[in-house]
Amino acid sequence: MADKIHCIKKTLRLMPEQAKDLALKADLAGMCEADYLRFLISQKPNDYPEIRVLLKQLINEVNRIGNNINQVVHNNNSELYRREDKEQLIAYMKKLNLALKEAVGQFGY
């Protein structure tokens, strides 16, 4: 019975090393080779598990830093602001910038 979704058949020739590499990468991704090749062709960055994990970590980091910023602003509005709060805020912003640079460096965006 013909596949109604994937109706065009393509023949692909690979060197033995390339075939082993394709089989290994498809297996690591938990896909059959045809699905893995379709996945590579689609080039959807949100499909990559590494990117999802990294984006989730960045979102969590931004949320934590946002919470800390809110506390600093609250203390400033209550006239409880200290110089250490400003230094801590700068440290959080540097940490966020480093995390973003790491993500950009890792995925080349």
Which of helix, strand or coil describes residue 91? Answer: helix
pTM flag (> 0.75): no
Q: What pLDDT score was predicted for residue 1?
A: 46
Q: What's the rounded mean pLDDT across residues 60-80?
A: 78
What are the tokens at 102?
């790491």
CA distances from 67 to 34, 62, 73 (A): 45, 9, 10
- The pLDDT confidence band at residue 46, using thresholds 50, 70 and 90, is low
